């Protein structure tokens, strides 16, 4: 069975948000349109505690988009975003979530970021999405969401590594940096991910 994964379509990644992805709002009507084509839909949600160490504000003297070492992993420092319990972390009202069967939240551990919907960035813990798909007999996933070169690309790479047949729907994603997305797309294609 094929499933759709909606990656991090949350207010903070839209034009109203703290970490707005350029043209991010454009994915909403597209995703609403294709949702009916799937019998199973999962969504991921970036879901951080206020003290999350991916926030530049939690490191004195650091600015957003600087890179640091965090417990042995390279970490880009982000503006505060998707703090649990805030409006920025919620799905936009314009996104049709009625048919979303399961939501996988990630990034709750303050010491490690979690771009992928499957694992944290250190691959220390899984979110449970892999096991849930197996239980639902999913062998193929289509991926949309934000941001293209970050959480969408990481989710697609892990899905391919986990043995799923993966398609990234380019119309359903937008990136912070278009060139970076193209580099990621080349890498993903080399791993068997279809970009359509």
CB of 96 to Zn ion, least distance (A): 23
Query: What is the rounded CA–CA span in Å between residue 143 and residue 57?
Result: 31
Options 12, 113, 142, 151, the catalytic residue: 151
Could you give the C-alpha distances from 5 to 66, 107, 151, 191, 194, in angstroms and in order? 29, 17, 11, 19, 15
Cα 90 to chain centroid distance, Å, stands at: 14
* 106 belongs to the catalytic site: yes
* 63 belongs to the catalytic site: no
Segment (H or E) for 2: strand 2-7
Could you give the C-alpha distances from 148 to 170, 184, 194, in angstroms and in order? 8, 9, 14
Interaction of residue 46 with Zn ion, rule CB under 5 A: yes
Residues 96-125 that bind Zn ion (CB under 5 A): 107
CB of 29 to Zn ion, least distance (A): 24
* 151 belongs to the catalytic site: yes
Give the number of residues in contact with Zn ion, rule: CB under 5 A: 2
CB of 81 to Zn ion, least distance (A): 6
Options 12, 46, 80, 106, the catalytic residue: 106
Residues near Zn ion (CB under 5 A) are 46, 107
Question: Which residues does the annotation mark as catalytic?
Answer: 8, 106, 151
């Amino acid at each position: 069975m094929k499933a759709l994964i909606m990656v991090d379509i949350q207010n903070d990644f839209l034009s109203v948000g703290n970490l707005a992805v350029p043209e991010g709002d454009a994915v909403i009507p597209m995703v609403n349109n294709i949702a009916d084509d799937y019998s199973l839909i999962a969504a991921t949600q970036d879901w951080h505690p206020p003290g999350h160490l991916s926030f530049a504000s939690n490191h004195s003297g650091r600015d957003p988009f600087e890179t640091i070492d965090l417990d042995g992993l390279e970490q880009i420092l982000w503006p505060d975003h998707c703090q649990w319990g805030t409006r920025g972390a919620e799905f936009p009202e314009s996104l049709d979530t009625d048919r979303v069967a399961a939501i996988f939240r990630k990034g709750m551990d303050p010491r490690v970021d979690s771009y992928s919907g499957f694992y944290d960035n250190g691959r220390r813990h899984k979110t449970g999405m892999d096991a849930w798909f197996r239980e639902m007999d999913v062998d193929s996933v289509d991926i949309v969401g934000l941001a293209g070169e970050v959480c969408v690309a990481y989710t697609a790479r892990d899905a391919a590594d986990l043995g799923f047949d993966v398609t990234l729907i380019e119309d359903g994603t937008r990136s912070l940096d278009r060139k970076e997305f193209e580099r990621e797309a080349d890498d993903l294609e080399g791993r068997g991910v279809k970009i359509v």
